[in-house]
Amino acid sequence: MTDGTTWVGATAKQISRAVRRGDITATQVVADHLEQIAITDPSLDAFRIIRGGEAITEAEKVDDQEDLSNLPLAGVPVAVKENTPVAGVPTWNGSAAARTPVAEEDHEVVRRLRGAGAVVVGITRMPEMGLWAVTDESDTPTRNPWDRDRTPGGSSGGAAAAVAAGLVPIAQCNDGLGSIRIPAACCGLVGLKPGRGVVPAELGIANWFDLVENGVLTTTVSDAALGFSVLAGRDPIKLVEPSRLRIGVSTRSPLPGVRADEPNMSAVTTASKLLVQAGHDTRTADPKYPPTLGLGTLATWFASAYRESEAYQLAALQPRTRQHIRLGKWALRSGLVRQSQRDAFREASIRFFADNSIDLLLTPALASAPPPADGYANGSWRHNMSVSMKYAPFAAPWNIAGLPAISVPVGTRPDGLPLAVQLVGPPDSEALLLAVAGQFEVLNPWQRFAFA
């Protein structure tokens, strides 16, 4: 507990341990968080739906179980991103125009969360169809708890805002071209994008050519490890200090003409020093981002929107989204969306680690501060593209490659907003990424919640 009277601000591990021991009921924990959501969310608009009565009923069912010992998330309030089906509520997908009917059953990752004892207290907002690195609707921008004039990022912006404000300790989210790591970096959170095939990721029509991965956002590495273990169907990961690693460092941007600003460059310097302090070796190692990667990524991004939009009424979608869809139709018909190209980049990315004799790669998480939280849903497609690509170019390649990557806080910008770095690993390195992130947390603890 944070102050002896509420469980708001406690970690998922603290809550689940207390509920399993009988120190507190799941019902009381959930009630505490629902009360805080009612107080705080009106200024953030992190949630699309708040499941007040339903969440209390589900918490009571957790309390009624005779044996809680096998529930690693016993009584933990969680939020679910609005493109992930939750039984009994519509799947909004970022706007009323993209909303699909009430889901008859939970998505597999929601089923796993509930099976571990978690209670879904609400559904968090995202931009329309999850296409943008900012989270807003025409009249409802979601705001960053660190600075309510800034975006919490996207597409999992509502999830990030909810966790950074202490409204839930864990939020489920997903990442198609950076949608976990970008909001994590904007809001000072831990955000792991698992590698391809590790966590159930199918989102019906929104499969994005297998680029999307499900994960969680948390304030601590141990909670990130716990949430990942549940989603992956694994025994809880024990964060064991890794042996001496060789870690490549690169500030090269995947997007020509865009480079990280001074605060984000300094974040990489800070992280490099922490790695050395932890006993690891660092060396410069720049990935090769071929010219075809940028065009192929854009074409896949556009085409993903086009394929998903076949279930919606095009005229009702936002202008920025409609233009994205039109370009997607053209990209598919022009043959610009190529599985062979994505496969080649994946193979080259895996070889990169062996060729450079490195275990992990360190990069900036963002190129600049989170943009203002204002007007994107009503703005032009060109403006949305420019904003999303220029401030957050470092995440997308690792979705194309299907490799695990994590965003980790490393301090604050001069303006007080969080700073973060990205760590990338070869296939099956999720546990190693979490272990190194845990070393960052020990050596350079971060402020877990925003107080803006």
- Tell me which DSSP letter residue 178 carries: S
**Which residues make beta-bridge pairs with 78?**
120, 170
Q: Residue 356: name the closest of 422, 424, 293, 283 by CA.
A: 283
Q: Residue 275 burial by CB count (10 A; 0-12/13-18/19+): exposed, middle or buried?
A: buried
Contact indicator for 346, 402 with CB cutoff of 8 Å: yes
Containing H/E element for 28?
Answer: helix 26-40
What do you get for the CA distance between the two ends of the chain, in Å? 21
Contact indicator for 380, 319 with CB cutoff of 8 Å: yes
Q: Residue 403: name the closest of 356, 345, 339, 341 by CA.
A: 345
Q: Residue 349: name the closest of 289, 295, 389, 394 by CA.
A: 289
Contact indicator for 19, 75 with CB cutoff of 8 Å: yes
List active site positions: 81, 155, 179
> Distance between CA atoms of 8 and 30, rounded to whole angstroms?
9
Containing H/E element for 408?
Answer: strand 405-412
**Which residues make beta-bridge pairs with 191?**
217, 407
Q: Residue 128: name the closest of 182, 181, 152, 92 by CA.
A: 92
